[in-house]
Each structure stands twice: as structure tokens, then as C-alpha cells.
Amino acid sequence: MSHAAYRSRSLPATGNFTRKWINVLDEETADLLSFMDACNMFIDEAVKGGGAALVHCQAGRSRSATIVTAYLMKKHHLAFTEAYQRLKSVKQDVQVNRGFEEQLQLYESMLCQVDTSSALYKQYRLNKIAERYPELQQVPKDIFANDPALSSSSEVSYRCRKCRRTLFRSSSILSHPVGDGASAFSHKKSSNISGEVQCTSYFIEPVQWMEQALLGVMNGQLLCPKCCSKLGSFSWCGDQCSCGRWVTPAFQLHRNRVDEIRQLNPTK
């Protein structure tokens, strides 16, 4: 054995091998997904170097099993279910907790690569923060998208309808499956005559200009940083879209308060 990867709260005694230590608890709310790529590279380095890797956690059933499953998925292009069953066939007592199962399924959806620009990963990060809010002392700054008003881009952007201030770009939109409209929430009966359901708000990742409004509160209004007109609202506990889907956490800007701006390609 040349490499050893640990998932625990304490660092084991040193030995004559390369170590990687991940401080993660065996809890459904813990985040292992963010470490999967780095752990896969660590294991792969050991194997390609002619050695072997020991992946260890306190009980040897959940955290270590999650990382080994992720490695099998990546290395052998396997779906989560198949990779997990292969692991169980050689170690019958493994039992990945439900939270880690969902992270492995998300890893599969991202083609076994943690893509921080993916809407799936952004929503995952926000969900993890929402689970710990408001106990968090501060919201991690890396969850905020760059303020689009401070730089130019060819990407589709969205501006305040009243003052034309750029608010967010299309890459910040976090789409969700369409819900069942009013039937999804019996206390809200509104629906259009044709029966069609339409999302009347954009649900997006937080943008830098929102930072001060979000600190220390569970919900509130989102105002244009230039003209202060009301654009929408936010809630760390989540909110209902007009389509009936519940989105958690929710940062929504009403479509009738913003305009979509597309860059026109010059005619050749």
C-alpha cells in the first residue's frame, strides 16, 4: 500500500505512505461530493504508480464506501447503482447513508466530474448552506455570482425594467422541474384558463449585489441595487413557484420586473 485516504474528524498517526485526510462526518447533511474529484485523482495516482490505496473511515461502511463507489463510477464509466453493487459484492457490510447516495446520483448526473458551473451543483451547494442557515456566521462568498454590471459578456443578460441596470446572466438561472400548478398546493388555487402552467419568476443563484440583503435574515425582498424598485424575494426556507414547484432555497426575480437582453451578431 502506497496511499491512504481518511474520512474522519481526527488525523491518524503518520506512516511511510502518502496520506489524504478529509474532515467529513458520517451525516446525511455532510458534503462529500465536493471532494470526489480530488479523491479520485488521489486513488488513481496510487494505482498508476504501481501501488494501492486504502480508503478508510471510522466504521468503514459509509464515507469510505462513498468515495470508492465514486471512483468505480469514474474509472469504469458505471452508473451509481452498478458501481455500488460491485462494491457490495466484495464488502457486504457497506451502507452509504441517504445523503451520500443522493450526492453519488448527482455525481452521475454531472458525468462523474464536479462541475462548479453546473446548475445542478450550484443548487446542491445552496441546499447545503440552507440546511445550516441561520447558524452560519456568514454565507460563503463563492456562492455569489459575479455582478454582471461590473464586466461585459456576450452571454444573455437580464436588466431591471425600470432603470436598465444589469442584474444577472443566463448562467445564473437555476431551472427546476415544472410542478403541478395550483393542484400541488391546495391552499393556492390560481391557474390560467387553458390549464397551462407557467413560471412567472426566474429562480437564480445569489448575485454579489444581493449580499447585504441576505446576511442574517431568513427571507426578505430583493430590490434593484440602483433604483431600489422591488424585483422579487428570497427565502432560505424555500418558496413556491407559480408552476407549483417548491424551490429551496429560493432567490426569485419576477419576469415582469426584468428584461432579457441578447447580444446581436453583427451582419457580415
190 C-beta neighbours (distance < 10 Å), count: 8
> Is residue 237 within 8 Å of 248, Cβ to Cβ?
yes
Over 70: is that where the pLDDT of 2 sits? no
Report percent pLDDT > 70 for the chain.
86
Written out in words, the top-level CATH class of the domain with range 3-114 is alpha beta
Span 141-261: which CATH code?
2.170.150
Reported confidence tier of residue 193, pLDDT bands at 50, 70, 90: very low
Mean model confidence pLDDT for the chain = 88
Q: Which residues are catalytic?
A: 57
pLDDT band at 188, cuts 50/70/90?
very low
Which of 135-144, 164-173, 209-218 has the highest average model confidence (pLDDT)?
164-173
pLDDT at 266: 58
The answer on pLDDT for 184 being more than 70 is no
Q: Is 100 within 8 Å of 63 (Cβ atoms)?
A: yes
Beta strands in the chain (DSSP E): 3-7, 18-22, 53-57, 157-160, 166-169, 201-203, 219-223, 230-235, 239-240, 246-247, 250-254, 258-261
Residue with cell 488525523: 11
Q: Is 144 exposed, middle or buried (0-12, 13-18, 19+ CB in 10 A)?
A: middle
246-256: average pLDDT: 97
Q: Where are the CATH 3.90.190.10 domain residues in the chain?
A: 3-114
> Between these two residues, 165 and 177, which has the higher pLDDT value?
165
Stretch 167-191: mean pLDDT, rounded? Answer: 72
4, pLDDT greater than 80 = no
User: Comparing 251 with 51, which gets the higher pLDDT?
Assistant: 251
Q: What is the mean pLDDT of residues 2-8?
A: 49
**For range 86-99, the mean pLDDT:** 96
Confidence of residue 265 (pLDDT cuts 50, 70, 90): low
pLDDT digits (tens, 9 = 90+) for 117-143: 999 999 999 999 998 887 777 788 999
pLDDT (mean) for 176-194: 55
Tell me, what's the pLDDT at 81? 98
